[in-house]
Protein backbone atom coordinates (compact mmCIF):
# COMPACT_ATOMS: atom_id res chain seq x y z
CA UNK A 1 0.00 0.00 0.00
CA UNK A 2 1.28 3.49 -0.82
CA UNK A 3 0.09 4.87 2.50
CA UNK A 4 -2.16 7.87 2.97
CA UNK A 5 -1.98 10.07 -0.12
CA UNK A 6 -2.64 13.79 0.04
CA UNK A 7 -2.80 16.34 -2.74
CA UNK A 8 -1.63 18.86 -3.49
CA UNK A 9 1.64 18.90 -1.49
CA UNK A 10 1.80 22.67 -1.67
CA UNK A 11 -0.90 25.24 -2.33
CA UNK A 12 -0.51 28.99 -2.57
CA UNK A 13 -3.70 30.95 -3.01
CA UNK A 14 -4.99 34.46 -2.64
CA UNK A 15 -7.20 35.50 0.22
CA UNK A 16 -10.86 34.94 -0.60
CA UNK A 17 -10.27 32.01 -2.93
CA UNK A 18 -11.67 28.54 -2.39
CA UNK A 19 -9.16 25.83 -1.46
CA UNK A 20 -9.78 22.09 -1.66
CA UNK A 21 -7.43 19.59 -0.08
CA UNK A 22 -7.71 15.92 -0.97
CA UNK A 23 -6.95 12.67 0.81
CA UNK A 24 -6.91 9.02 -0.11
CA UNK A 25 -6.77 6.86 3.04
CA UNK A 26 -5.17 3.46 3.34
CA UNK A 27 -7.47 0.79 1.96
CA UNK A 28 -9.38 -1.00 4.71
CA UNK A 29 -8.95 1.75 7.29
CA UNK A 30 -12.31 2.77 8.71
CA UNK A 31 -11.32 5.99 10.47
CA UNK A 32 -10.10 9.20 8.84
CA UNK A 33 -8.86 12.37 10.49
CA UNK A 34 -8.00 15.86 9.29
CA UNK A 35 -5.42 17.75 11.35
CA UNK A 36 -3.97 21.23 11.07
CA UNK A 37 -0.40 21.87 12.23
CA UNK A 38 1.00 25.28 13.13
CA UNK A 39 3.93 26.40 15.26
CA UNK A 40 1.60 28.19 17.65
CA UNK A 41 -1.00 25.46 18.20
CA UNK A 42 0.73 22.20 17.28
CA UNK A 43 -1.43 19.41 15.83
CA UNK A 44 -5.12 20.29 16.02
CA UNK A 45 -7.83 17.77 15.16
CA UNK A 46 -10.31 19.37 12.78
CA UNK A 47 -12.69 16.51 12.01
CA UNK A 48 -12.95 12.74 12.39
CA UNK A 49 -14.88 10.31 10.17
CA UNK A 50 -15.72 6.72 11.01
CA UNK A 51 -17.03 4.51 8.20
CA UNK A 52 -17.38 7.65 6.03
CA UNK A 53 -19.63 9.38 8.59
CA UNK A 54 -18.48 12.58 10.34
CA UNK A 55 -18.40 11.77 14.04
CA UNK A 56 -16.70 14.78 15.59
CA UNK A 57 -16.28 18.11 13.81
CA UNK A 58 -15.90 20.23 16.93
CA UNK A 59 -12.39 21.16 15.85
CA UNK A 60 -13.47 22.81 12.61
CA UNK A 61 -12.64 26.43 13.31
CA UNK A 62 -15.38 28.20 11.37
CA UNK A 63 -18.17 27.71 8.88
CA UNK A 64 -15.62 28.51 6.19
CA UNK A 65 -14.25 25.01 6.73
CA UNK A 66 -16.11 21.93 5.49
CA UNK A 67 -15.13 18.30 5.00
CA UNK A 68 -16.68 15.42 3.12
CA UNK A 69 -16.06 11.72 2.73
CA UNK A 70 -18.24 10.51 -0.14
CA UNK A 71 -16.75 7.01 -0.05
CA UNK A 72 -14.22 4.92 1.84
CA UNK A 73 -11.34 5.90 -0.46
CA UNK A 74 -11.63 9.68 -0.68
CA UNK A 75 -12.05 12.74 1.51
CA UNK A 76 -11.86 16.49 0.95
CA UNK A 77 -11.31 19.47 3.21
CA UNK A 78 -12.56 22.72 1.75
CA UNK A 79 -11.93 26.28 2.91
CA UNK A 80 -14.16 28.93 1.39
CA UNK A 81 -13.26 31.76 1.49
CA UNK A 82 -9.65 31.31 2.57
CA UNK A 83 -7.87 33.77 4.85
CA UNK A 84 -4.15 34.34 5.62
CA UNK A 85 -4.61 32.86 9.12
CA UNK A 86 -5.55 29.55 7.50
CA UNK A 87 -1.93 29.16 6.40
CA UNK A 88 -0.68 25.91 7.92
CA UNK A 89 0.19 22.32 7.08
CA UNK A 90 -2.92 20.16 6.83
CA UNK A 91 -2.59 16.44 7.47
CA UNK A 92 -4.92 13.61 6.73
CA UNK A 93 -4.55 10.39 8.71
CA UNK A 94 -6.34 7.07 8.56
CA UNK A 95 -6.56 4.40 11.21
CA UNK A 96 -7.51 0.81 11.70
CA UNK A 97 -5.56 -0.12 14.81
CA UNK A 98 -2.78 2.48 14.41
CA UNK A 99 -3.03 5.91 12.78
CA UNK A 100 -0.93 6.63 9.69
CA UNK A 101 -0.41 10.15 8.38
CA UNK A 102 -0.08 11.47 4.89
CA UNK A 103 2.74 13.79 3.85
CA UNK A 104 0.58 16.85 4.37
CA UNK A 105 -0.47 19.85 2.30
CA UNK A 106 1.34 23.10 3.01
CA UNK A 107 -1.22 25.86 2.47
CA UNK A 108 -0.18 29.47 2.12
CA UNK A 109 -2.88 32.10 1.80
CA UNK A 110 -1.55 35.51 0.73
CA UNK B 1 -11.62 15.53 27.46
CA UNK B 2 -8.10 14.17 27.39
CA UNK B 3 -5.16 16.51 27.91
CA UNK B 4 -1.60 15.46 27.06
CA UNK B 5 1.39 17.44 28.31
CA UNK B 6 4.81 16.80 26.74
CA UNK B 7 8.27 17.87 27.96
CA UNK B 8 10.74 19.15 27.05
CA UNK B 9 9.78 21.19 24.00
CA UNK B 10 13.37 21.06 22.75
CA UNK B 11 16.14 18.61 23.56
CA UNK B 12 19.72 18.87 22.38
CA UNK B 13 22.12 15.94 22.86
CA UNK B 14 25.48 14.75 21.60
CA UNK B 15 25.63 11.74 19.30
CA UNK B 16 25.80 8.59 21.39
CA UNK B 17 24.00 10.07 24.39
CA UNK B 18 20.54 8.99 25.51
CA UNK B 19 17.41 11.10 25.11
CA UNK B 20 14.25 10.95 27.21
CA UNK B 21 10.92 12.59 26.39
CA UNK B 22 8.12 12.58 28.95
CA UNK B 23 4.36 12.88 28.64
CA UNK B 24 1.51 13.01 31.11
CA UNK B 25 -2.16 12.41 30.40
CA UNK B 26 -5.29 13.30 32.31
CA UNK B 27 -7.92 10.70 31.34
CA UNK B 28 -7.53 7.48 33.31
CA UNK B 29 -9.61 5.73 30.62
CA UNK B 30 -6.81 6.20 28.06
CA UNK B 31 -5.29 2.83 27.26
CA UNK B 32 -3.22 3.23 24.10
CA UNK B 33 -0.15 5.46 23.78
CA UNK B 34 1.59 5.81 20.40
CA UNK B 35 4.71 7.83 19.67
CA UNK B 36 5.31 9.57 16.35
CA UNK B 37 8.45 10.94 14.69
CA UNK B 38 8.09 13.83 12.27
CA UNK B 39 10.99 14.67 10.00
CA UNK B 40 11.20 17.98 8.21
CA UNK B 41 8.64 18.26 5.42
CA UNK B 42 6.98 14.96 6.23
CA UNK B 43 3.99 13.70 8.12
CA UNK B 44 4.28 12.11 11.58
CA UNK B 45 5.25 8.43 11.44
CA UNK B 46 4.40 5.89 14.11
CA UNK B 47 7.61 4.56 15.67
CA UNK B 48 6.45 2.67 18.74
CA UNK B 49 3.37 2.29 20.89
CA UNK B 50 2.35 0.83 24.22
CA UNK B 51 -0.93 -0.38 25.63
CA UNK B 52 -2.03 -0.01 29.21
CA UNK B 53 -1.62 -3.68 30.05
CA UNK B 54 2.15 -3.37 29.51
CA UNK B 55 4.69 -1.39 31.54
CA UNK B 56 7.56 -1.27 29.05
CA UNK B 57 8.23 -2.02 25.41
CA UNK B 58 11.51 -2.00 23.49
CA UNK B 59 12.41 -1.92 19.83
CA UNK B 60 16.16 -1.77 19.20
CA UNK B 61 17.35 1.65 20.41
CA UNK B 62 13.96 2.96 21.43
CA UNK B 63 11.83 2.04 24.41
CA UNK B 64 8.64 3.31 25.98
CA UNK B 65 7.59 3.06 29.60
CA UNK B 66 4.14 3.57 31.08
CA UNK B 67 3.14 4.34 34.65
CA UNK B 68 -0.65 4.05 34.78
CA UNK B 69 -0.88 5.08 38.41
CA UNK B 70 0.96 8.33 37.82
CA UNK B 71 -0.54 8.72 34.33
CA UNK B 72 2.76 9.33 32.60
CA UNK B 73 4.70 7.65 29.84
CA UNK B 74 8.14 8.21 28.38
CA UNK B 75 10.16 7.63 25.23
CA UNK B 76 13.78 6.60 25.63
CA UNK B 77 16.27 6.68 22.77
CA UNK B 78 19.71 5.21 23.45
CA UNK B 79 22.91 5.71 21.44
CA UNK B 80 21.39 8.63 19.58
CA UNK B 81 22.42 9.29 15.99
CA UNK B 82 22.09 12.45 13.86
CA UNK B 83 19.27 10.81 11.90
CA UNK B 84 17.24 10.67 15.13
CA UNK B 85 16.92 14.47 14.86
CA UNK B 86 13.22 15.21 14.38
CA UNK B 87 10.10 16.32 16.22
CA UNK B 88 8.61 13.60 18.41
CA UNK B 89 4.94 13.53 19.45
CA UNK B 90 3.30 11.47 22.12
CA UNK B 91 -0.42 10.71 22.01
CA UNK B 92 -3.06 9.12 24.18
CA UNK B 93 -6.22 7.35 23.06
CA UNK B 94 -9.18 6.64 25.29
CA UNK B 95 -10.58 3.15 25.36
CA UNK B 96 -13.49 2.94 22.91
CA UNK B 97 -12.36 6.09 21.09
CA UNK B 98 -10.50 6.35 17.80
CA UNK B 99 -9.23 9.87 18.36
CA UNK B 100 -5.59 10.42 19.41
CA UNK B 101 -4.89 13.45 21.58
CA UNK B 102 -1.37 14.69 20.84
CA UNK B 103 1.24 16.39 22.95
CA UNK B 104 2.81 19.62 21.63
CA UNK B 105 5.91 17.85 20.39
CA UNK B 106 9.61 17.72 21.30
CA UNK B 107 12.24 18.91 18.86
CA UNK B 108 15.22 16.56 19.29
CA UNK B 109 18.57 17.70 17.92
CA UNK B 110 21.44 15.22 17.89
CA UNK B 111 24.80 16.88 17.35
CA UNK B 112 27.47 14.83 15.54
Share of chain B above pLDDT 90, in %: 88
Q: How far is A73 from A26, CA to CA, in rounded Å?
A: 8
**Chain centroid to CA B12:** 16
Q: Is the pLDDT of residue A45 over 80?
A: yes
Q: Please return the burial class of A23, using the count of CB atoms within 10 Å of its CB with bins 0-12, 13-18 and 19+.
A: buried
Q: Is the pLDDT of residue A1 over 80?
A: no
pLDDT score, position A68:
97
Mean pLDDT, residues B28-43 taken together: 94
Mapping DSSP onto H, E and C, the string for chain A reads CCCCEEECCEEEECCCCCEEEEEECCCCCCEEEEEEEECCCEEEEEEEEECCEEEECCCCCCCCEEEEEEECCEEEEEECCCCHHHCEEEEEEEECCCEEECCCEEEEEC
B9 touches chain A (CB under 8 A): no
pLDDT score, position A97:
82
Q: How far is A48 from B74, CA to CA, in rounded Å?
A: 27
Pairing of strands A10-13, A19-24: unpaired
* CA of A69 vs chain B CAs: smallest distance (Å): 17
Mean pLDDT, residues A75-92 taken together: 97
Query: Tens of pLDDT along A49-72?
Result: 999 999 999 899 889 999 999 999
Asked if residue B42 lies in contact with residue A103, where contact means CB atoms within 8 angstroms, the answer is yes
- Residue A38 — left, alpha, or beta (φ > 0 → left; ψ -120 to 50 → alpha)? beta
pLDDT class of B2 with cuts at 50, 70, 90: confident
pLDDT score, position A86:
97
CA distances from B106 to A95, B48, B87 (A): 23, 16, 5
* CA of A104 vs chain B CAs: smallest distance (Å): 6
Q: Is the pLDDT of residue A41 over 90?
A: no
Q: Is the dihedral of CA A27, A31, A36, A37 positive or negative?
A: negative
Q: How far is B69 from A62, CA to CA, in rounded Å?
A: 38
A50, A100, A103: residue with CB nearest B98:
A50
Smallest CA-to-CA distance from A10 within A2, A21, A1 is with A21
Chain mean pLDDT for chain B: 94
Q: Is the pLDDT of residue B36 over 90?
A: yes
Q: How far is A79 from A36, CA to CA, in rounded Å?
A: 12
Query: Tens of pLDDT along B53-95?
Result: 889 999 999 999 999 999 999 999 999 999 999 999 999 998 8
pLDDT class of A101 with cuts at 50, 70, 90: very high
DSSP state at residue B71? T
Q: Is the pLDDT of residue B98 over 80?
A: no
Q: Is the pLDDT of residue B25 over 90?
A: yes
Tell me the residues of chain B between 26 and 55 that have a Cβ less than 8 Å away from chain A: 34, 36, 41-46, 49
pLDDT score, position A9:
96
Q: How far is A66 from A58, CA to CA, in rounded Å?
A: 12
pLDDT score, position A25:
97
Amino acid sequence: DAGVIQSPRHEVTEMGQEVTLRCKPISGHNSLFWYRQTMMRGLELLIYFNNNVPIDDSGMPEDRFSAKMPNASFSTLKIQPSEPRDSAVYFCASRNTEAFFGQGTRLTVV
Amino acid sequence: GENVEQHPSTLSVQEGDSAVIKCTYSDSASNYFPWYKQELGKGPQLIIDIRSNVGEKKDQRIAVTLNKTAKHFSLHITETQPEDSAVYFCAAIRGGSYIPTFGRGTSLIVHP
